[in-house]
Structure formats: structure tokens, C-alpha cells
Amino acid sequence: MLGWMMQNAADVAVLIAAIDEARGVLEPQAAALAARRATRAQVSAIAAGYEGMAVAAEADDVEAAIAADCEFHMAILKATGNPILMAFDSAIDAVLGILFNVAAADHRQIFALNLENHRRVLEAIREGRAEDASAAMLDTIQFTRQSLKRHVLKN
């Protein structure tokens, strides 16, 4: 279904809006839960995703940046400790991959420019600051939304 929607520009816009809406509902709360519940190993997994993004952005390696960005967000989802949320991991990973591929297609620097927001999410989770983790994740999502509007969904 997602592949079919990606073939039509109007459907791409609808799909991106739906992904963005779902992210806004899910990811800030997931970051807050991760800040409350993450183990050291889970924080290390989140940090590994962030570090992978930083290395890939520095090397201008879009494929590695997409993979690391997905790894970062999936590690946060796992760190919630919520088995229902974790049951959606494959679907969320797939839609994030689509979103990040679309975002990077016309704006390769998106990963480097959004690193600071991701760092803030990581630090808030590491320090157990749930409200700050949620706010930083919302900033991360809003950055991607604005970037997509400027560089991809130019209509």
C-alpha cells in the first residue's frame, strides 16, 4: 500500500502528512516514557543511533544517515518498555524510512541540520527529563515537517 501511494505526487503529500501526524501523536510521548524507563543499555542504543547520524552526516552518506536516524527512533520506542508500542516497531520503522528517504531526496543536509534536536532528545532521555525529552522530540519532528514543506512539498 505504501509503495503504491509513493507513485503519485498527491498521494505522497497525503502519506507524508499522515506520517507526520502519527509521529506527533506517538514520538514525543515515547521519548518521555524512554526518559522515565530506559536502562543504561537502552540509552547506549539511542546514543549509538545518534552517533551514527553524526558520522553519516559528516560523511554526507545519506543511506547511512537514514539507517542511523531510524535506529535512533526505534531505540527510543524500545526504551519505552511498552510491549504494545514495541509491537508497532516494524510499521514505524518502515514509515520513518519512507519519510527520511523523501526528506533527503531534495535536501541532503537535513540530517546534519537536525542533529542538535536529536542530541537534545538523547540528553534529556539520558538525564531522565521526560518533559524535556518530549519537547525536544517535538522540535525534531517540527524541523522535519518544515524542511519537507520547504524542500519537498513545494506546493
Distance CA 43, CA 34 (A): 9
- The yes-or-no verdict on residue 2 having pLDDT over 90 is no
Sign of CA dihedral 89, 115, 110, 26: positive
Average pLDDT over the chain, rounded to an integer: 90
Q: How many CB atoms lie within 10 A of CB 5?
A: 16
Distance CA 47, CA 50 (A): 5
The CATH code that applies to domain 27-151 is 1.20.120.530
Portion of the chain with pLDDT greater than 90, in percent: 68
Question: How long a stretch of residues is the chain?
Answer: 155
Using one digit for the tens of pLDDT, what is the confidence trace for 98-129? 888 888 876 678 889 999 999 999 999 999 99
Whether the full predicted model's pTM is greater than 0.75, yes or no, is yes
* Predicted local distance difference test score (pLDDT) of residue 92: 92
Distance CA 19, CA 17 (A): 5
Cβ neighbours of residue 128 closer than 8 Å, sequence gap 6 or more? 35, 36
Distance CA 51, CA 53 (A): 5
Using one digit for the tens of pLDDT, what is the confidence trace for 46-90? 999 999 999 999 999 999 999 999 999 999 999 999 999 999 999
- Highest mean pLDDT, choosing among 4-13, 54-63, 71-80, 142-151: 71-80
Longest alpha-carbon distance in the chain: 44
Q: What is the CA radius of gyration of the chain?
A: 15
Locate the domains of the chain by residue range: 27-151
Distance CA 122, CA 52 (A): 13
